[in-house]
A and B are shown apart, each in its own frame.
Chain A
Amino acid sequence: MVKTFLSTTKKDSGRSNHIIRKRGKSLTENNKAALIFLAPMLVGIFVLVLYPIIESFRLSFFIIQPGANVNKFVGLMNYRFAWNDFVLWRTLWNTTKMALMEVIITVPLSFIIATLINNAKKTGNIYKVLYYLPNITSVTATAIVFRFVFYSSDSGIVNFLLGKLGLEPVRWLTSMQWAPITVVIFSFWLRMGFNVLICLAALQTISREMYEAAEIDGAGPVKKWWYITLPLAKPILLYILIMTMIASMKRFNETFVLGGEEGLPGGSLFTTVMYMYTVAFKSANVTYGATIAVFLFVIILIMTVINTRFIRFNESDY
């Protein structure tokens, strides 16, 4: 997706360049106009994105204690502290565990639902809207609802249904084993529609002829799905996988609402971003907070690089 942006800039700038040169407008005049058009966003990017990134790195090499008026360079001390900080590792483990679980259910299910919607002749659009609905509602409000949907007594819908099936009620949000699973189910419910739409966009690029050729060879719907759709959708599945992974590593809102500031029960919902929030804003230790942010940034950066590589790699498949 990102690549298409790049390729269009190149082509178009060439074309408009040609037009403008022909009309005798000087390039400096264009520069000035472009600067004015870009000014608001440029200021925003430099002041609110680029400067904060550099400042986050800088802060992570300092300790600041506003009360004691301490502001001193400590080299890698914050990082050494982070390396031995078992709370940080615990939050990373919590976050990664939930991320992996979410990827495992999100990728196959979104894809299956997308192929079904793609094959639903007249009703496809209704499903798109219905499945996307949770995506636009606020995480906070829906998380509040899910606290009761997954209520630990049997007055919660899920436990009630389990009871009907003759199963014991599960302590969804009150036991340390089940709470992360509950968050993952909630998060899947919340974001699935988005992944389904991306899959659908990719599926619609697969040409009909390929299926028709397979039909002539006598392939049924399941075979066509397995031998044509699935291999061709591989790049988009990788994309969803990494995007889900990145979003999950930044998990904050749903665990904050479902588990409170401490990520209850027993800190099982305490994610890395929640830890950063607690350190920087509750304990007012901005420098160590920044160190945690850098940790997270590096992890996400690696995933982003992998993601762009995958997309480039498989672009010829389309």
Chain B
Amino acid sequence: MRQESKKFNLILQQMIINIILIAGAIVVVIPFVWMIGTSLDLTANVQLPFPPRFWPPDPTFRNYVIGFNNVPMYRYYYNTGIITVFAVIIGTLSGLSAGYAFSKIKFRFKRLLFMIFLATIMVPFEMTAIPKWRLFKAMGLLNTHAAVIIPYISYVMGSFLAKQYFDSLPNALKESALIDGASEYAIFIRIYLPIAKPIVATLAILLFIGSWNSFLWPLLVMTKQNMYTIQIGIALFTANVDNIYPGVVMALAVIAIIPVVIVFLFFQRYIVESVALTGMKQ
């Protein structure tokens, strides 16, 4: 009898928890649903339909066509794509090799350097923005893809994640390779890198999301419209049209987030784990 009531309590408890969490999840997800619904709603361009609806009676992709005709979306996608690809490559390589050095090589000033690296992640980007911008300007790099790509070389958070991963790999691998006379580079590339795929994936995914969404730095260095990233492009487009075409604006917003959402849904495990690991937003 007592056993049964306890079981019942447990089921009731699980039900209450799930009901609250589902309600919360609905609040979290509804803006996305509404965004997609409105983007397919041609009448939403005169004004938002009243009463609000999540799905138009006759869904159409016309808003997307209008968006593509009035905003150089292909160009924005191209710019963002180039930047993202190189940001991922540069950031991952730089983070992995630095992380490996901190984890598996003994060298002078290691602790000091590590402290400097640590301090670096605490420095707000805003503090460095102006001199950095002047530097890039002096080098003639404003309005080039390189201006947005190069800063990913100091993806310090990546080196911490990599270090932590390499720490979990045994040193014995290195020891036996050293006996065979392998160089440090050979050990890194041939022995540790092949078994470090999960961390490579994590860094690449985090960099992908970060560079796809980055806003302030591209806004500073990309001042010509044909160099805008997609985020800058839609932000400045909506600033100019001022709420008049909700349907088109939502269509552009959908286009801007689709690649990242797809990557997230496929690789969410890596992202969720990395947050728990570092306690830092990437």
Is A53 positioned at the interface, with any CB of B under 8 Å from its CB? Answer: yes
Structural contact, B28 and A198, CB atoms closer than 8 A: no
The total number of A-B Cβ pairs within 8 Å is 327
Contacts A16-B171, A27-B108, A155-B48 given: A142-B235 contact, CB under 8 Å?
no
Verify B279–A145 contact, CB threshold 8 A. no
CA–CA, A196 and B252, complex, Å: 29
Please judge, given known A-B contacts A48-B154, A296-B124, A297-B127, whether A8 and B164 are in contact too, CB under 8 Å: yes
Say yes or no: A40 contacts B128, CB within 8 Å: no
Given contacts A52-B132, A155-B48, contact A128 B272 (CB under 8 A): yes
Q: Of all chain B residues, which has the CB nearest A120?
A: B17
**Looking at chain B, what size class is its interface with the partner chain?**
35 or more
Closest-CB distance, B199 to chain A (whole angstroms) = 15
B196 within 8 A of A: no
A41 near B126 with CB under 8 A, answer no
* A43 at the B interface (CB under 8 A): yes
A17 interface contact, C-beta 8 A: yes
Is B114's CB under 8 angstroms from A253's CB? Answer: no
Complex formed: what's the CA distance from A197 to B252 in Å? 30
Establish whether residues B231 and A140, one from each chain, have CB atoms under 8 Å apart when the complex forms.
yes
B-chain residues with CB within 8 Å of residue A120 when the two chains form the complex: 14, 17-18, 21
A300 adjacent to B231 (CB under 8 Å) = no
A294 to B127, CA, bound (A): 7
The residues of A that contact B235 with a CB separation of less than 8 Å are 140, 144, 256-257
Contacts of A293 in B (CB 8 A): 126-127, 129-130
Contact of A252 with B by CB under 8 A: yes
Q: Is A166 an interface residue (CB 8 A)?
A: no
Partner of B128, one of A52, A200, A301: A52
Query: Could you tell me the distance in whole angstroms from the C-beta of B165 to the nearest C-beta in chain A?
Result: 11
Stretch from A73-81, A86-94, A130-138 at the B interface: A130-138
Contact (Cβ within 8 A) A138 B268: no
Could you list which residues of chain B lie within 8 angstroms of chain A, going by C-beta atoms?
13-14, 17-18, 20-21, 24-25, 27-32, 34-35, 38, 47-52, 90, 93-95, 97-98, 100-108, 110-111, 113-114, 116-118, 120, 122-135, 150-151, 153-156, 159-160, 163-164, 167, 171, 174-175, 178-179, 183-185, 188, 209, 212-213, 215-216, 220, 231, 234-235, 238-239, 243, 246, 249-250, 252-254, 256-257, 260-261, 264-265, 268, 271-272, 275-281
